[in-house]
Amino acid sequence: GAVVSQHPSWVICKSGTSVKIECRSLDFQATTMFWYRQFPKQSLMLMATSNEGSKATYEQGVEKDKFLINHASLTLSTLTVTSAHPEDSSFYICSARATWRGNTIYFGEGSWLTVV
Amino acid sequence: AQSVTQPDIHITVSEGASLELRCNYSYGATPYLFWYVQSPGQGLQLLLKYFSGDTLVQGIKGFEAEFKRSQSSFNLRKPSVHWSDAAEYFCAVGSTGTASKLTFGTGTRLQVTL
């Protein structure tokens, strides 16, 4: 079936540094991908919609300069957390819309970010 | 704005017992509705979805859900729960536009006792 892969699964970075998380659709093209953030024992909160070849659309309250999203190809979107701080530590999940499967949304495995 | 309410934060059932997880949504038009399951530290797996048509939807792992427009509900059911079903379950509503942004409920944690 359709697969969405995220890399890395786990990452630890120092405060003040930047970290990039990749989201790939492995067997389908995705013009639209989504980035979510999930705090422990909480629900998923949509951060932004990533559109191939154009700027991402950010949800209210999400700092676009801090969470840089690039969707350079039909199978890859990246989320870069810039100048990371401990409060950015979270579980980040991406999803991709498979238009060829009735617009079904498939999720990646998620990426744990810990900022120390 | 669309929203989802999962009134039960935590549910415990015995293995072999039936299960129903509640989900109520708020959306102005006909919604796209989803149920996802998440194991600890993992991503989300789609159990089933409703876009239109038959209001009783069959999913994977023996789950089903029924869309009731009059009650704005999309409850998830399983006739006989297995210990491996213990996980977090999320109900979500999606927009009918091309972007398909999902709004998630707060989740229901299912515990299964042997």
pLDDT in tens, A28-67: 888 889 999 998 878 889 999 998 888 999 999 999 999 9
Q: Is B90's CB within 8 Å of A6's CB?
A: no
DSSP string, A20-39: EEEEEESSS--SEEEEEEE-
**What's the whole-number average pLDDT of chain B?**
90
pLDDT at A80 over 70: yes
Given a cut of 60, whether residue A1 has pLDDT beyond it is: no
Looking at residue B98, its pLDDT comes to 45
Average pLDDT over residues B46-59: 91
3-state secondary structure of B69: helix
What type of residue sits at position A36? Y
Distance from CA of B104 to the nearest CA of A (A): 6
Shortest Cα distance, chain B CAs vs residue A96, angstroms? 10
Nearest residue to A18 (alpha-carbon basis) of A91, A85, A69, A77: A85
Residue B26 confidence (pLDDT) above 70: yes
Residue A84 clears pLDDT 80, i.e. is over it: yes
pLDDT in tens, B66-106: 999 999 999 999 999 999 999 999 999 987 654 467 889 99
Yes or no, beta carbons of A97 and B103 under 8 Å apart: no
Task: Write down the pLDDT at residue B99.
Answer: 44
Contact A112 B41 (CB under 8 A): yes
Please count the residue pairs, one from chain A and one from chain B, whose beta carbons lie less than 8 angstroms apart.
54
